[in-house]
Amino acid sequence: MEKRTILTTSKRGLQEDSFPFRLFQKAKRHGIWNPSDIDFSQDAKDWQTLTREQQQDILRLISQFQAGEEAVTLDLLPLIMTIAKQGRLEEEMFLTTFLYEEAKHTEFFRLVLNAIGEKGDLAHFHSDTYQKIFYEILPETMARLEHDQSPEAIAEAATVYNMFVEGVMAETGYYSFYQSLEELGLMPGLLQGVENLKRDESRHIAYGTFLLQRLICEHPHLYELVEAKMQELAPLAIRINQEGFAGRDISEFGHLLENTMNFTMKQLSVRMDILSRARGKKIEEIYRVSDKEMGVL
């Protein structure tokens, strides 16, 4: 067994100015909200004012977020282990907050469902497309890291988890919650939690972006691999949107399918645009990237 090197008592110390360590600091400050502290009493009242069709639209969103948060909580560990084995201490320190926050998000959506009295089986909202992403692609891609820690495997994992599931799917979901409920002033507890989630996820997406930029800087051919994977996944995001509208052009809240599609396509474009900036950069520049450039809230 290779002799362990302790970094924090060496001349290296902690890389306190590195982007992962700065994310760790932000997580300590902003990721400490408690789902149990949120008051859902008004949400329960608002829920009763919605039509059956409106309830179904919101339940689809909540059930897909609930299952998605459970999935990403379960599937993150192989990436943490991979980063730990590489001795990237500052990245692992941030990833401890990452897993903690995903677990909190899982709790949050369960509390919402409890508050509105929905305790039955909601798996019928998990379409074949949804299951393809969360029951197959995500767990299989992340589990690959258990036996393959190659740059290609890590890049694929970060693309699926951070860029697509969090950076496209979840961001579109937040957009749909806001469009459906915020404009009507409904379900303030749910929206409060979603706002907290969005802030947490901005750090998660930023870390995935940093990780991919680092990998692309070190192995330039990976950009094409990431680009191809995003192009492969894009039709699934489009299909999820179409399924959410169930053949309608307008949701029960008056929200246009076209606007949701445009938002999703913009997210896909933004993710690749940010990653493309890594090409030609020095690794020192990747570590010094600003929070603003990475979209950290």
Tokens of 131: 């299951």
Question: pLDDT tens digit string along 158-177?
Answer: 999 999 999 999 999 999 99
Q: What kind of architecture, by CATH, is found in domain 37-281?
A: Orthogonal Bundle (1.10)
* Domains of the chain, residue spans: 37-281
Q: Identify the pLDDT of residue 279.
A: 85
216: pLDDT strictly greater than 90: yes
pTM of the model: 0.95
Sign (positive/negative) of CA torsion 251, 267, 269, 133? negative
Per DSSP, helices labelled H in the chain are 19-30, 41-49, 52-75, 77-85, 89-115, 128-131, 138-143, 151-158, 171-181, 188-218, 222-245, 257-276, 283-287, 291-294
Characterize 258-278 residue by residue with b for buried, 16 or more Cβ atoms within 10 angstroms of its Cβ, and e for exposed.
eebbebbbebbeebeebbeeb
Mean pLDDT, rounded, of the chain: 95
Question: pLDDT tens digit string along 183-200?
Answer: 899 999 999 999 999 999
Tokens of 264: 């999703």
